[in-house]
Amino acid sequence: MPRPISATVHTAALANNLAVVRRAAPRSKVWAIVKANAYGHGLARAFPGLRATDGFGLLDLDEAVRLRELGWAGPILLLEGFFKPVDLEIVDRYSLSVTVHCDDQLRMIETARLSRPLNVQLKMNTGMNRLGYTPERYRTAWERARHTPAIGQIVLMTHFSDADGARGVQHQLAAFERGADGIAGARTLANSAATLWHPATHFDWVRPGVMLYGGSPSGVAADIATSGLEPSMTLASEIIGVQNLAAGDTVGYGSRFTAERPVRLGIVACGYADGYPRHAPTGTPIAVNGIRTRTVGRVSMDMIAVDLSTVPDAGVGADVELWGPNVSIDEVAQASDTIGYELMCAVAPRVPIRAD
Instruction: List interacting residues with ligand PLP (CB under 6 A).
Output: 33, 35, 79, 159, 191-192, 207-210, 217
> In terms of CB distance, is 209 or 266 closer to ligand PLP?
209
| Active-site residue flag, 35 | yes
Q: Which of 35, 39, 133, 272 is catalytic?
A: 35
CA angle 15, 16, 19 (to 5 degrees): 90
Cα separation, 350 vs 30, in Å, equals 33
Q: Which residue number is nearest to ligand PLP in terms of Cβ?
A: 209
Which positions ≥6 away from 94 have C-beta within 8 Å? 64, 65, 68, 76
Task: Label the pairing between strands 250-251 and 285-288.
Answer: unpaired
Q: Is 144 annotated as a binding residue?
A: no
What end-to-end distance do the CA atoms of the chain give, in Å?
A: 21
> In terms of CB distance, is 33 or 329 closer to ligand PLP?
33
> In terms of CB distance, is 297 or 340 closer to ligand PLP?
340
> In terms of CB distance, is 33 or 235 closer to ligand PLP?
33
Minimum distance, C-beta of residue 312 to ligand PLP, in the bound complex (Å) = 40
Minimum distance, C-beta of residue 192 to ligand PLP, in the bound complex (Å) = 3
Minimum distance, C-beta of residue 195 to ligand PLP, in the bound complex (Å) = 7
| Active-site residue flag, 84 | no
Q: Is 1 annotated as a binding residue?
A: no
Cα separation, 121 vs 100, in Å, equals 6
Q: Which of 29, 253, 272, 341 is catalytic?
A: 253
Cα separation, 204 vs 28, in Å, equals 5
- In angstroms, what CA-CA distances link 170 with 119, 123, 167? 28, 18, 8
Minimum distance, C-beta of residue 252 to ligand PLP, in the bound complex (Å) = 34
* Positive or negative: CA dihedral 136, 142, 147, 150: positive
**Annotation: binding site:** 130, 301
> Known catalytic residues?
35, 253
**Annotation: binding site for substrate:** 130, 301
